[in-house]
Amino acid sequence: MSDASFDSKTYAGEAQFSDYFALLKPRVMTLVVFTAFVGLLAAPVSVHPFVGFCAILFIALGGGASGALNMWYDSDIDAVMTRTKKRPIPAGRVSREEAFAIGLTLSVFACVFLGLATNWVAGGLLAFTIFFYVVIYTMWLKRSTPQNIVIGGAAGAFPPMIGWAAATGDISVASVLMFCLTFMWTPPHFWALALFMRSDYDNAKVPMLTVTHGRPSTRKHILVYTILLAVLAVGLGFTQVGGPIYLTVAVVLNALFLKGAWQIWRRNEEDSETDNFRIERKFFKLSLLYLFAHFGAILIEAGAARLGLYAGVL
What average pLDDT score do residues 66-95 get? Answer: 90
What average pLDDT score do residues 249-259 get? Answer: 97
More confident residue, 310 or 284: 284
Q: CA-CA distance, 192 to 281, in Å (whole number)?
A: 7
Cα distances from 274 to residues 269, 270, 278, 279, in angstroms, run 9, 6, 9, 11
Does residue 286 have a pLDDT over 70? Answer: yes
Cα distances from 306 to residues 33, 45, 241, 311, 314, in angstroms, run 21, 10, 12, 10, 11
* pLDDT (0 to 100) of residue 9: 43
Cα distances from 244 to residues 60, 164, 261, in angstroms, run 30, 22, 25
Q: CA-CA distance, 310 to 289, in Å (whole number)?
A: 27
Range ranked top by mean pLDDT from 25-29, 231-235, 238-242: 231-235
Q: Are 143 and 206 in contact (CB under 8 A)?
A: yes
More confident residue, 196 or 253: 253
What are the pLDDT digits (tens) for 198-235?
A: 677 777 777 888 878 888 899 999 999 999 999 999 99
Mean pLDDT taken over the chain = 88
What average pLDDT score do residues 4-14 get? Answer: 48
Percent of the chain with pLDDT over 90: 64
Q: CA-CA distance, 149 to 85, in Å (whole number)?
A: 20
Q: Are 51 and 176 in contact (CB under 8 A)?
A: no
Q: Single out the residue of 52, 33, 161, 158 nearest to residue 114, CA to CA.
A: 52
